[in-house]
Structures are given as structure tokens and as C-alpha cells.
Amino acid sequence: MKRVEGTVLFTQESRFMLETDAGERHLFILSHKASAEAQQLPPLQHRQARVRVTYDNDPAIIGYAAHAIDVLPEQRRGQGARQWARQ
Amino acid sequence: MGAAMIAGLPLSNRVRDYPESEFRHPLPHEAELTAGVRIEPGRSYGFFTDTTVCIGCKACEVACKEWNNLPADNLGLTGDSYDNTGHLSANTWRHVAFIEQMADRPTEMRPFQSNWLMMSDVCKHCHNPPCMEACPTGALFKTEFDTVVVQQDICNGCGYCVPACPFGVVDLNPLDGKAHKCTLCYDRLKGGLEPACAKSCPTDSIQFGEVADLQQRAAKRLEHLHAVGVPSAYLYGAPDGPGATGGLKYLNAFFLLTDRPEVYNLPEAPTRPSDRVAPSLLSGLAAVAGLAVAAVALFSRRD
């Protein structure tokens, strides 16, 4: 299982788009094995929450299957981008 | 100077209020500007797809995937002309069919005379939706816009809706285990926006509006096509016509076709499975009764 951190940009049903601090965007579908439901995703979008997604590739689609979503502590806006710029 | 037109209808006077080409904020009742219709709850909305002007650009497919955040699926080559999506699925809610019609002997076809039929297929948002009748949890429901939507938090993934749909539209996604299909952009309708596919269509092959208005518009278009020498044109899904058989009454998303429905991968005479329950039950009971009579006859002869 791989992991990625980022901000939930928008959600539709059980699908959500995550933007990493480096500006990459990934499309995830919430797996039926995940301990979260589709209706829990919109609040993450409204808060622009930072999350850590545990995911797997799915060979049938251009996207990933999200198996777990951990909400991370709130970060000041732009902090991630500054860290990335310093590197 | 004549009035500007959109899909054969005069543009709303509100167009003059927005001379700029870029907007920083959503426009109220935007569909009035883009489709000439104000979206209000309690009215019936749908699509009229005129396949005679479809150019197969797939803008509708892309717009649908973009707005609904749907992943590309059916990866690889289908080997079926320019059709790379193949069919409607849980991740493909618009599908542009490319039907290449060859003569009996392709080598004898006149140059530059290849014959293509293109059609953007979608959920038909039936007036009497069989998927909704089959759903045991009530996840499928009719919205305030008379469209059919799956509520994801209620769907339990039983899949009864999949075989119930006579058009093969509804599909289960094995990743999340739930049924998915076109929502006729329910979220956009609530915001006064035209559905993404119709808005992106460059030839207005996909027209969005109130179903009654669309049916009138389609009848006029059909009359025009017959007048200019396309006698094969007909409406699929108009009230009590082809495609609206078996108690479906009419389809909110209906089509103008120029060949048999099967050519477009549409059923010739779709039916509601619920209409087959009584005949199935009766035939089952008749079979049981017949077997019982045979058994009685067999055993009484032995005695």
C-alpha cells in the first residue's frame, strides 16, 4: 500500500481529487473496504482538509483506490508550498 | 438585424447584461443564457439528442468526466473504430457510439462516401424508471427536476437495478461496490446550470430543456428532415413511440435516429421487468400444477 498527503480539492459521490504540496493532482475512488463512507467526503472538501490517503493502483482505471483516509492537523495556508519552495 | 439564436430559439434578453467573456462569479440562472431555459424545481427536464448533427467530437464525454470527477476506464484499444470508451459504465456516463456503415462489398464503396452514424448515448431518465422499481433500498429516486439519481449513501450495492434497466445504463463499480449512472448533473441543475455535456456540445446535437419543449422542438426537426429528403428519421423515446414501449410511456432523454434502434445498440422495444412478474408467476404456477398432475397420473397408474 502506498501513501500520499495533500488537500482534498473536490468530491463527487465516492470520488475525490487530492492535491499534493508539490501541486500534483490525483483522482481516488473510496474503496468499499475503507472505513469511511462517501457522505464523509464533502466536509473534507469544504474544509480543504489535509489528509493522508493509503491507496493502491487499479489497473482498470486512470485513478487509485483509496483504502484509508487519515485527517491531518490543520496547516496554515501556503505552509506546504513554502516548504516545497525551500527545497 | 435578426435576433441571435441558440438551438433554434431566440437568446435570452439577459445576454445583454453580460458583455464580458470571462466571469469571476457564477451567474444566477446561467442555463437561461446557455440553453434558453430557467431551471426550477417541479418541472421536467431532459435531453433531446439529434444524432444527425453529432460529429463524434466526444466533448460531451470529456465534459461529463471532468465535472463528475470520473476516471478514464476501459483502457487499451477496443479495435472498434474511434470508439475508445466502448459502452456506458459506472465510470462512463456519456458514450459516443461510432457506427461505420459499410456496403455489402466495401471495395465497391464510392470514394469519399463512407457512411458514419454517431450518437451520444446516456441514461434515458425514463418516465417510469425500471431501475427505481427494482431498487429495494430506495437509493434510486426521482428528483425535483424529474430526473433519476442514485443516492450513494443509501445504495447497498445489491445490483438489482443493473439487469432491470432495459438500456444497460446502470452499472456497479467494483471499487466502491455501488451503482452509478448519469445524474443529469443534479448538482448543476440545483445551481441553475445546464448539464455539462449539453453545454459543451458544439453542434447542439445534445439539447437540454423542459421535456415538453424538447418534444415540440424534436417534432419540428423531424418534420424538416422529412421535408428535405431524410424519410428514415424518427424519434426514439418520444411519447408512445419506438423506445417508449412496455409501459415506459416516454423517455426524458430521447433521440432522433436515422436507422433501426439496434444499429445504435438500443433495444427495439424496451420493457419494464415489473410487467413480466405476473406472467412469470403464472407460468411458474402452471408448470408446478402440470408436474403435479403428471405425478398423480404416474403414481395412480402404478397402483
- Structurally, chain A folds into a number of domains equal to 1
Tens of pLDDT, residue by residue over B205-249, are 999 999 999 999 999 999 999 999 999 999 999 998 899 998 899
- Identify whether B87 is part of a domain: yes
| pLDDT classification of A81: cutoffs 50, 70, 90 | very low
Is residue A14 within 8 A of residue A29, CB to CB? The reply is: yes
| CATH number of the domain encompassing residue B209 | 3.30.70.20
Is residue A36 within 8 A of residue A11, CB to CB? The reply is: no
Q: Which of B94, B97, B71, B69 is nearest to B83 (CA)?
A: B97
Q: Which residues contact B47 (CB under 8 A, 6 or more apart)?
A: B122, B184, B195, B197, B198, B206, B207, B208, B214, B252, B253, B254
What Å distances lie between residue B202 and A19, B23, B57, B197, B221, CA to CA?
Answer: 31, 21, 9, 10, 18
In chain A, residues with a C-beta closer than 8 Å to the C-beta of B186 are none
For the beta sheet containing B45-50, the strands, ordered from the edge strand earlier in sequence to the opposite edge, are B206-210, B45-50, B253-257, B234-236
Is residue B157 within 8 A of residue B178, CB to CB? The reply is: yes
**Residue A11 to residue A30: CA distance in whole angstroms:** 11
In three-state secondary structure terms, A38 is: helix
- Identify whether B206 is part of a domain: yes
Mean pLDDT of A59-87: 71
Q: What is the per-residue pLDDT for B112?
A: 58
Q: How far is CA B130 from the centre of its chain?
A: 14
In three-state secondary structure terms, B233 is: coil
Q: Which of A16, A39, A60 is facing B153, going by the closest CB pair? A: A39
The share of chain B scoring above pLDDT 70, in percent, equals: 91
- Identify whether B158 is part of a domain: yes
| CATH number of the domain encompassing residue A11 | 2.40.50.140
**Residue B194 to residue B60: CA distance in whole angstroms:** 12
Mean pLDDT of B53-76: 94
Q: What is the per-residue pLDDT for B37?
A: 92
**Residue B151 to residue B164: CA distance in whole angstroms:** 17
| pLDDT classification of B19: cutoffs 50, 70, 90 | confident
| Structure-block grid coordinates of residue B273 | 421487468
Q: What is the per-residue pLDDT for A31?
A: 95
What is the pTM (predicted TM-score) of this model?
0.86
Q: Which of A26-35, A46-55, B114-123, B204-213 has the lowest mean pLDDT?
A: B114-123
Q: Which of A10, A31, A61 is facing B71, going by the closest CB pair? A: A61
- Identify whether B28 is part of a domain: yes
- Identify whether B58 is part of a domain: yes
- Identify whether B165 is part of a domain: yes
Q: Are A17 and B180 in contact (CB < 8 Å)?
A: no
| Structure-block grid coordinates of residue B99 | 457506427
Question: Cell 448533473 appears where?
Answer: B185
Mutation target to probe the B interface, by most B beta carbons within 10 A, among A10, A11, A14, A67 is A14
Q: State the ipTM, two decimals.
A: 0.83
- Identify whether B291 is part of a domain: no
Mutation target to probe the B interface, by most B beta carbons within 10 A, among A13, A27, A37 is A13
Chains A–B, number of C-beta pairs less than 8 Å apart: 57
Residue type, A73: P
Q: What is the per-residue pLDDT for A4?
A: 96
Beta strand segments in chain A, E: 2-12, 15-19, 25-30, 50-57, 64-71
| Structure-block grid coordinates of residue B36 | 434558453
**Residue B264 to residue B207: CA distance in whole angstroms:** 19
Q: How many CB atoms lie within 10 A of CB B49?
A: 27
Beta strand segments in B234-298, E: 234-236, 253-257
Whether residue B265 has pLDDT greater than 90 = yes
φ and ψ at residue A19, rounded to 5 degrees: -110, 125
Q: How high does pLDDT run on average in chain B?
A: 90
- Identify whether B57 is part of a domain: yes
- Structurally, chain B folds into a number of domains equal to 1
**Residue A9 to residue B289: CA distance in whole angstroms:** 62
Whether residue B74 has pLDDT greater than 60 = yes
H/E element, B142: strand B140-142
Q: Which of A1-10, A78-87, B48-57, B174-183 has the lowest mean pLDDT?
A: A78-87
Tens of pLDDT, residue by residue over A31-50, are 999 988 999 999 999 999 99
Q: What is the per-residue pLDDT for B10?
A: 62
**Residue B295 to residue B298: CA distance in whole angstroms:** 5
**Residue A2 to residue B300: CA distance in whole angstroms:** 72
φ and ψ at residue B263, rounded to 5 degrees: -60, -35
In chain A, residues with a C-beta closer than 8 Å to the C-beta of B91 are 61
Whether residue B126 has pLDDT greater than 90 = yes
Mean pLDDT of A16-34: 94
| pLDDT classification of B108: cutoffs 50, 70, 90 | low
Mean pLDDT of B63-87: 89
Whether residue A83 has pLDDT greater than 70 = no
Residue numbers of the domain that contains A62: 2-86
**Residue B161 to residue B178: CA distance in whole angstroms:** 11
Q: What is the per-residue pLDDT for B7?
A: 55
In three-state secondary structure terms, B180 is: strand
According to DSSP, the β-strands at B5-6 and A64-71 are unpaired
More confident residue, A74 or B140: B140
Residue numbers of the domain that contains B98: 5-271
